[in-house]
Amino acid sequence: MAFLVSVLVIITATGVCFLPLRGVLAASLTSKSDSLSRLQKSVAANHTITFTTPTGVAAGETITVTFPAGFSMGSVNFTDIDMAVGGSDVALAATPSGSTWGAAVSGQVLTLTSGTGTISASSVVTIEIGTNATYGTTGDQQITNPSTAGVYEISLGGTMADSGQLKVQILDDDTVRVTADVDESIAFAITDVEIGFGTLDYNNARYATGDGNGSGTKTSAHNLTVATNASGGWSVAYTDSQSLTCGSEEIDAATISGDADGTPGSEQFALSFSTSGSATITSAYSSSSNNWKYEKNPASPVTIASKTSPNSTETISAYYLANISALTPAGSYSTDITYLATATF
């Protein structure tokens, strides 16, 4: 008797599916940020996007930056984009070629495509978009912010293994108007208001000094200082009613040109000035030219120095010259000179 034995042999095979290695190592981008030059709605802005890629980017892979609806990409192209890896700029062109990466904008997406270039794991990548892109060619186009204030998410990805998102805040107005008032000001001072020639000598010129003793050598008696923020600058003038007088006697007011000591033996009283800065000294009173002058009882104040712009403290040195003749009556001579400083605001 024969038996037919049927044996069902179930053959199974265990298949091992190997996923691409980079898929296994995919990770989230870290240290992501986007620094905008403006956060106000509807205005054009530069973007500086920075992130760290844990895995890196292989040759032929892409990095994409996807801007959400609302951002207007305008005419941004590769000339408006810079990319740096670890602080070193990478060459970009419209399409990739060798170590030069391609950079192109389509819709809301900026795509950076590697040719043969790679990015090592843990590298810091910086992408600049706008007029802040200055490597090779300076950018002239920017991305315009959305017309509605709010928080917007930008996606980072591509065929590279790592990806991530970052958020930016768009404001109704990012500008704070700060106002302040500055009052008009002028400061004027005279370092010594009592000066003197000492004893005059008809053989030699005398110059007034701050100690009142006078000098036989040309020297300044005191200083006038001026400081103002007036846009039109300032002027300094003097006024008086008389020359050096003693009772009814008076030493003549004089005009002297190009002579440091005038004419000893004749009656002369005159002033001269110099400046430490860029003010203009009236020519007839220019000490550097040895010019001297004094106007007795002028119809209006006599300008001796001026400037057409504001300045910090400028110092004007004042010189006083006196000569007498052998016939000048003895006595104690004096006069009062009033100085005026005027600013043009």
Q: Identical fold at 27-170 and 186-343?
A: yes
Task: Indicate the residue type of 128.
Answer: E
Contact 227, 187 (CB under 8 A): yes
**HSE (CB half, 13 Å, CA atoms) of 22?**
14
pLDDT digits (tens, 9 = 90+) for 229-286: 999 999 999 998 799 999 999 999 999 999 999 999 999 999 999 999 999 999 999 9
Output the pLDDT for position 235.
98
Domain ranges of the chain: 27-170, 186-343
- The top-level CATH class assigned to 27-170 is mainly beta
DSSP letters of 21-71?
HHHHH--B-EEEEEEES--BTTSEE-EEEEEEESS-B-TT-EEEEEPPTT-
Instruction: Lay out the sheet containing 101-106: strands in order across.
Output: 92-93, 101-106, 109-113, 62-66, 150-157, 164-170
- Residues of the chain whose pLDDT is less than 70? 1-25
Q: For 186-343, which CATH class?
A: mainly beta
Question: What is the pTM for the complete model shown?
Answer: 0.61
